[in-house]
């Protein structure tokens, strides 16, 4: 963990050093602007690490503005870096091809203009992404399961994942999400992980649970923990989820109102060395549920999709990927996962991977849209 942290801090420091140096050079003929830029830039760069240190000392209120500004800077840093690299590549090409007019090569002529263009484009991109991140769409999905209907042959299932509740997404934002969920009139609400992003305090738990308990779902609210619940203190965060009125499933299966079976798997992040995941058939057998009912699997990460198909799962719901969240990381995301976002059918098993309703890191989305998923679930063998 320490080694990983050193790598992250080194990359963060080097990228910001590169951006800062290029900004310093671009403003060479404007000493006052140059000094103001460097002072403001260093202050913003330090915001996130300072905020995290303050948070670790228990001063959540004092840490919040530092973490929020520092998180926004991470997205700003990404697009500044892309812009600066692009400018440097153009200049490198010009050394061989000489296509830039000589008037623009004069010292001090192009620097301030390029600085303004790159910084302005990065700022507009981040601002647009922040607005996008705060406005989840409603994704409508019709799912039919050709299986014997139990007590109900039609249900409204609402899925919401990857809230990442904590410093950046607090009770106010959660309240808006809960209102959107209730407006969909769900019979059941399913949350496939990463609901809590940080280890919560007693005060935060009380505030979040009072909001989360407003969810109106007659058949209940079910969730599985994701990797972030584990990273930030699994037992404490699970206690918070249960205080929120959520039934947490860890390698467990439950039969809901004689209508369907919900299976929840532990995330691979919690496994110890050489420990294997509990197979889905073992979870079902251990629970003693009616496997003739529709089986819905909650599995935070969409790994090894064939396991659900081989176990006879009818519908798997996952999150984790954020559908990339930030451009151009979404392009990499598509190549990492068999299904990084959206719907897929393999044999008799249907899958949906949601982009999530929240954000991780920067509260910005430029590579995907946040979403709450409304599933119109129909069950029966008659068409």
Give the per-residue SS3 of 303-327: CCCHHHHHCCCCEEEECCCHHHCCC
Point out the domain boundary residue: 96, 113, 132: 132
The domain spanning residue 250 has which CATH number? 3.60.21.10
What pLDDT sits at residue 239? Answer: 85
Which positions ≥6 away from 239 have C-beta within 8 Å? Answer: 205
Which positions ≥6 away from 44 have C-beta within 8 Å? Answer: 69, 70, 73
**174: region left, alpha or beta (phi > 0 left; psi from -120 to 50 alpha):** alpha
Point out the domain boundary residue: 99, 132, 165: 132
The single-letter DSSP state of residue 222 is E
Q: How many of the other CB atoms lie within 10 Å of CB of 253? A: 22
H/E run at residue 242: helix 234-243
What pLDDT sits at residue 383? Answer: 53
- Same domain for 146 and 64, yes or no, is no
What pLDDT sits at residue 118? Answer: 96
CB 16 within 8 A of CB 84: no
Exposed/middle/buried for residue 70 (C-beta within 10 Å: 0-12, 13-18, 19+): buried
Own/partner contacts of 127-132, CB < 8 Å, gap of 24 or more, are: 128/366, 129/75, 129/326, 129/362, 129/364, 129/365, 129/366, 130/72, 130/363, 130/364, 132/364, 132/365, 132/366, 132/369, 132/370
Point out the domain boundary residue: 89, 107, 132: 132
- Same domain for 121 and 216, yes or no, is no
- Same domain for 111 and 156, yes or no, is no
- Same domain for 224 and 156, yes or no, is yes
- Same domain for 226 and 176, yes or no, is yes
Domain count, the chain: 2
Residue 180 sits at the vertex; the CA angle it makes with 355 and 231, to the nearest 5 degrees, is 45
Using CA atoms, how far residue 1 sits from 7, 75, 196, 267, in Å, is: 10, 24, 20, 19
- Same domain for 17 and 44, yes or no, is yes
What pLDDT sits at residue 282? Answer: 97
Backbone angles phi, psi at 143, to 5 degrees: -125, 130
What pLDDT sits at residue 235? Answer: 82
Q: What are the tokens at 54?
A: 């303050």
- Same domain for 34 and 145, yes or no, is no
Digitized pLDDT (tens) for each residue of the chain, 383 residues in all = 577 788 989 999 999 999 999 999 999 989 999 999 999 999 999 999 999 999 888 888 899 999 999 999 999 999 999 999 999 999 899 888 888 887 766 656 788 989 999 999 999 999 999 999 999 999 999 999 998 777 788 999 999 999 999 888 989 999 999 999 999 999 999 999 999 887 667 777 788 889 999 999 999 999 999 998 888 778 888 888 898 899 999 999 999 999 999 999 999 998 888 889 999 999 999 999 999 999 999 999 999 999 999 999 999 999 999 999 999 999 999 999 999 999 999 999 999 999 999 999 999 999 999 999 999 999 987 65
- Same domain for 192 and 119, yes or no, is no
What pLDDT sits at residue 3? Answer: 79
- Compute the CA torsion angle 352, 353, 356, 359 (nearest 10 deg): -170
Rounded to whole angstroms, the Cα distance separating 232 from 267 reads 14
| Residue 354 belongs to domain spanning | 137-379
- Same domain for 142 and 128, yes or no, is no
- Same domain for 50 and 158, yes or no, is no
Residue 23 sits at the vertex; the CA angle it makes with 74 and 86, to the nearest 5 degrees, is 75
- Same domain for 75 and 160, yes or no, is no
- Same domain for 160 and 264, yes or no, is yes
**HSE toward the beta carbon, residue 180, CA cutoff 13 A:** 21
Q: How many of the other CB atoms lie within 10 Å of CB of 227? A: 16
């Amino acid at each position: 963990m320490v080694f990983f942290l050193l790598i992250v801090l080194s990359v963060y420091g080097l990228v910001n050093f590169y951006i800062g140096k290029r900004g310093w050079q671009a403003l060479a003929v404007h000493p006052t602007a140059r000094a103001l830029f460097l002072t403001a830039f260093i202050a913003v760069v330090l915001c996130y690490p300072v905020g995290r240190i303050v948070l670790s000392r228990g001063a959540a209120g004092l840490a919040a503005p530092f973490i929020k500004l520092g998180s926004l800077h991470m997205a700003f840093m990404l697009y500044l870096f892309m812009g600066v690299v692009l400018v440097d590549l153009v200049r490198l090409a010009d050394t061989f091809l000489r296509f830039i007019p000589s008037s623009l090569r004069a010292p001090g002529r192009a620097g301030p203009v390029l600085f303004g263009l790159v910084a302005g484009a990065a700022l507009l991109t981040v601002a647009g992404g922040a607005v996008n991140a705060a406005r989840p769409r409603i994704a409508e999905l019709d799912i039919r399961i050709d299986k014997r209907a139990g007590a109900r042959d039609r249900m409204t299932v609402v899925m919401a994942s990857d809230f990442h509740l904590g410093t950046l997404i607090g009770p106010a934002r959660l309240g808006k999400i809960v209102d959107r969920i209730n407006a969909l009139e769900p019979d059941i609400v399913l949350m496939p992980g990463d609901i809590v992003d940080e280890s919560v305090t007693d005060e935060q738990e009380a505030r979040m649970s009072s909001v989360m308990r407003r969810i109106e779902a007659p058949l209940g609210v079910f969730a599985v923990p994701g990797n972030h619940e584990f990273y930030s203190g699994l037992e404490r965060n699970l206690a918070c989820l249960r205080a929120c009125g959520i039934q947490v499933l860890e390698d467990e299966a439950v039969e809901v109102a004689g209508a369907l079976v919900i299976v929840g798997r532990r995330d691979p992040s919690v496994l110890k060395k050489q420990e294997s995941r509990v197979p889905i058939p073992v979870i079902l057998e251990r629970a003693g549920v009616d496997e003739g009912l529709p089986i819905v699997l909650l599995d935070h990460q969409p790994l090894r999709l064939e396991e659900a198909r081989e176990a006879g799962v009818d519908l798997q719901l996952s999150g984790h990927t954020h559908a990339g969240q930030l451009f151009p990381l979404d392009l990499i995301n598509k190549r990492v996962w068999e299904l990084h976002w959206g719907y897929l059918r393999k044999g008799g098993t249907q899958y949906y991977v949601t982009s999530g309703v929240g954000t991780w890191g920067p509260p910005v989305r430029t590579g995907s849209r946040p979403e709450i998923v409304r599933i119109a679930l129909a069950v029966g063998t008659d068409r």
